[in-house]
């Protein structure tokens, strides 16, 4: 180790290395897809009739939308809809006024008029009577929601009931996503009862996102592979992250403790519409133990965690697990980054350097001489690398530099190096000290050296242990930039305003 001391308290990860030089993809929404297609009712669905087809076709651009705000007495008559299923019970008390009773008299006891069918549905309040309504487009929003609650009074659903419930929801037309979001609890109750409402009908109000790309940390390449489900409700955006723990033999995963670390760290933000601050959605992260999204191997002992491997003996689990959770939702590291990546990822200027530029320039020259030692003819490449390592270690030791995390002095050296030689010191170390099979911990050694000439933030995605009391990062290791993506999802769905994340709870 020769003067480079291992830090004890760092947040870090290894593994997931990828071939050096592989193309880097910008981090962002590499894929954002609704998943509802697989749940879309098909003609094979026994609970799926001609009305479903018609209503599906009219889901977008439902002309009935224009009628929704009209008083019921002004509505048009039947629109040619095909009566659905059940025959209304003859002899029902026609005198009972329903919410949409427009004053028309029963026409011979076999009502074909959807208004009449609707009146009977409210009069009888049975699934059969509701199911007999051929066109829920004639109902108001409030009436449709009431009809749904009537259907939910008889669970489990009788035959045909699921189709009826789907037809009622479909009658909201292109406003369905917004109504379902505002009434997410009702939507969920319908699904619990067996309505099989397709998630695709929620539009941008729900979906699955895969976010990822490559990153370079401490001179090594990694891959961030984020994935999450989200659903926007009337007061929140719920972000579900499925994690399948795969423990080694004899290892018990402290799931509830770890998930508690995640929620206590991450669930403090609300997306707030800056143009109408009464409009808010809490940003709620929900880690769940389930397959199909992320797989995490869990080992005994206290090794160095990464997004795919945790350790039950990690004494710093309270910050390690929330840090790794950040990767699972697609966030990059904010430690040991070069200047350009640091600015791009954090949106901040790199931390300041020491002002003693003369001393820094001298040290930069010593490091330059150490790492640029030429490779002699006929010697092994690793022999030259070892010679450079030894010389570099001596310079670091003489200057009492730490490892992994930069100080004002090491940042001044990096700045002086760039001024004098035109390149990044961290990149030159990576290029000149590229391998040594004789040094078993070469990977850690080089990261420890490269890291001090790079930049580390004090947020949860950097090293929150470095945060100083009184700074925003100390108060909230999760910073607004880390949850901005979710405020953007809310803004995109609601299609109005300017939504920003604010720490308020
Ligand atoms: Zn990390």
Q: Quick check: helix, strand or coil at residue 357?
A: helix
What is the model's pLDDT at position 101?
A: 37
**How far, in Å, is the centroid of ligand 1 from the Cα of 19?**
18
pLDDT tier at 443, thresholds 50, 70, 90 = confident
What is the model's pLDDT at position 46?
A: 40
Q: Alpha helices of 98-229 — where are they, by DSSP H?
A: 114-124, 127-131, 141-151, 161-170, 176-182, 184-193
DSSP state of 234: S
Task: Report how far residue 6's alpha carbon sits from residue 333's, in angstroms, rounded to the nearest whole number.
Answer: 19
Q: Tell me the Cα Rg of the chain.
A: 31
What is the model's pLDDT at position 435?
A: 80
What is the model's pLDDT at position 448?
A: 93
pLDDT above 80 for 126: yes
Q: Which option is the CATH number for 357-451: 1.10.287, 3.30.1490, 1.10.220, 1.10.10? A: 1.10.220
**How far, in Å, is the centroid of ligand 1 from the Cα of 123?**
61
Pick 475 or 197 by higher pLDDT.
197
User: Can you give the residue ranges of every domain in the chain?
Assistant: 28-33+207-334, 41-197, 357-451
Render pLDDT for 183-196 as a digit per residue (tens, 0 to 9): 999 999 999 999 99
pLDDT tier at 419, thresholds 50, 70, 90 = very high
pLDDT above 50 for 32: no
Q: Closest Cα partner for 310 from 329, 328, 285?
A: 328
Mean pLDDT for the stretch of residues 172-178:
96
Mean pLDDT for the stretch of residues 129-137:
97
Pick 81 or 189 by higher pLDDT.
189
**How far, in Å, is the centroid of ligand 1 from the Cα of 384?**
32
Q: In sequence order, what are the residues at sequence separation of 6 or more whose Cβ sits closer than 8 angstroms to the Cβ of residue 343?
A: 349, 350
Indicate the average pLDDT of the chain.
82
Q: In sequence order, what are the residues at sequence separation of 6 or more whose Cβ sits closer than 8 angstroms to the Cβ of residue 210?
A: 29, 30, 31, 32, 225, 226, 227, 330
**How far, in Å, is the centroid of ligand 1 from the Cα of 460?**
9
pLDDT tier at 139, thresholds 50, 70, 90 = very high
**How far, in Å, is the centroid of ligand 1 from the Cα of 212?**
13
What is the model's pLDDT at position 59?
A: 40
Percentage of the chain surpassing pLDDT 90? 70
pLDDT above 50 for 144: yes
**How far, in Å, is the centroid of ligand 1 from the Cα of 11?**
7
**How far, in Å, is the centroid of ligand 1 from the Cα of 278?**
36
**How far, in Å, is the centroid of ligand 1 from the Cα of 464?**
12
**How far, in Å, is the centroid of ligand 1 from the Cα of 332?**
7
Q: Of 211-225, 255-269, 294-308, where does the model show the most confidence?
A: 255-269
**How far, in Å, is the centroid of ligand 1 from the Cα of 338?**
15
**How far, in Å, is the centroid of ligand 1 from the Cα of 8?**
16
**How far, in Å, is the centroid of ligand 1 from the Cα of 440?**
22
Mean pLDDT for the stretch of residues 413-424:
96
pLDDT tier at 243, thresholds 50, 70, 90 = very high
**How far, in Å, is the centroid of ligand 1 from the Cα of 308?**
11
Residue with tokens 């010679």: 387
**How far, in Å, is the centroid of ligand 1 from the Cα of 6?**
18
**How far, in Å, is the centroid of ligand 1 from the Cα of 333?**
5
Give whole-number Cα distances, 232 to 67, 334, 435, 493, in Å: 27, 28, 49, 8
What is the model's pLDDT at position 1?
A: 36
Q: In sequence order, what are the residues at sequence separation of 6 or more whose Cβ sits closer than 8 angstroms to the Cβ of residue 484?
A: 500, 501
Percentage of the chain surpassing pLDDT 70? 77
What is the model's pLDDT at position 87?
A: 36
**How far, in Å, is the centroid of ligand 1 from the Cα of 345?**
13
Pick 338 or 61 by higher pLDDT.
338
* Contact (Cβ atoms closer than 8 angstroms) between residue 287 and residue 263: yes
What angle separates helix 442-451 from helix 425-432, to the nearest 10 degrees?
160
pLDDT tier at 109, thresholds 50, 70, 90 = low
Give whole-number Cα distances, 443 to 207, 225, 380, 493, in Å: 39, 22, 20, 45
**How far, in Å, is the centroid of ligand 1 from the Cα of 461?**
6
Render pLDDT for 465-496 as a digit per residue (tens, 0 to 9): 999 898 888 889 999 999 999 999 999 999 99
Mean pLDDT for the stretch of residues 69-91:
33
Render pLDDT for 339-382 as a digit per residue (tens, 0 to 9): 999 999 999 999 999 999 999 999 999 999 999 999 998 888 88
**How far, in Å, is the centroid of ligand 1 from the Cα of 299?**
18
Mean pLDDT for the stretch of residues 88-93:
36
């Amino acid at each position: 180790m020769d003067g480079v001391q291992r830090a004890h308290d760092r947040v870090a990860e290894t593994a997931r290395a990828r071939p050096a030089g592989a193309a880097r993809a910008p981090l962002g929404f590499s894929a954002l897809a609704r998943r509802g297609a697989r749940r879309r009712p098909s003609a094979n669905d026994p609970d799926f009739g001609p009305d479903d087809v018609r209503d599906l076709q009219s889901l977008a651009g439902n002309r009935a939308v224009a009628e929704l705000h009209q008083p019921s007495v002004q509505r048009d008559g039947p629109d040619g809809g095909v009566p659905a299923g059940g025959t209304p019970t003859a002899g029902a008390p026609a005198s009972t006024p329903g919410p949409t009773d427009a004053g028309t008299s029963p026409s011979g006891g076999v009502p074909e008029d959807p208004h009449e069918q609707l009146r009977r549905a409210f009069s009888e309040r049975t699934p059969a009577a509701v199911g007999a309504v051929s066109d829920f487009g004639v109902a108001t929003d409030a009436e449709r929601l009431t009809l749904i609650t009537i259907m939910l009074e008889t669970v489990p659903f009788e035959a045909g009931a699921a189709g009826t419930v789907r037809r009622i929801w479909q009658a909201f037309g292109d406003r369905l996503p917004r109504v379902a979001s505002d009434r997410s609890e009702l939507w969920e109750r319908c699904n619990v009862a067996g309505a099989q409402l397709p998630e695709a009908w929620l539009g941008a109000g729900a979906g699955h996102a895969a976010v990822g790309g490559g990153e370079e940390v401490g001179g090594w390449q990694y891959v961030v592979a984020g994935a999450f489900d989200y659903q926007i409700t009337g007061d929140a955006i719920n972000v579900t992250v499925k994690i399948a723990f795969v423990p080694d033999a004899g290892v018990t995963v402290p799931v509830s403790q770890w998930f508690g670390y995640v929620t206590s760290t991450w669930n403090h933000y609300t997306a707030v519409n800056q143009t109408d601050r009464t409009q808010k959605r809490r940003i709620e992260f929900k880690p769940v133990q389930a397959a199909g999204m992320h797989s995490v191997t869990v080992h005994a002992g206290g090794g160095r965690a990464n997004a795919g491997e945790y350790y039950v003996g990690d004494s710093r689990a309270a910050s390690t697990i929330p840090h790794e959770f950040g990767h699972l939702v697609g966030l990059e590291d904010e430690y040991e980054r070069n200047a350009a990546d640091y600015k791009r990822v954090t949106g901040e200027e790199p931390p300041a350097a020491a002002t003693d530029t003369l001393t820094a320039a001298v040290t930069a020259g010593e490091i330059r001489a150490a790492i640029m030692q030429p490779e002699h003819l006929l010697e092994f490449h690793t022999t030259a690398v070892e010679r450079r390592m030894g010389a570099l270690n001596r310079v670091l030791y003489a200057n009492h530099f730490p490892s992994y995390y930069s100080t004002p002095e090491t940042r001044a050296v990096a700045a002086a190096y760039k001024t004098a030689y035109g390149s990044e010191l961290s990149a030159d170390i990576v290029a000149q000290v590229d391998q040594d099979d004789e040094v078993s911990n070469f990977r850690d050694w080089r990261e420890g050296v490269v890291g001090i000439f790079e930049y580390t933030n004090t947020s949860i995605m950097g090293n929150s242990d470095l945060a100083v009391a009184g700074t925003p990062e100390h108060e909230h290791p999760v910073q607004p930039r880390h949850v901005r993506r979710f405020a953007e999802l809310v803004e995109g769905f609601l299609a109005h305003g300017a939504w920003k994340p604010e720490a308020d709870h």
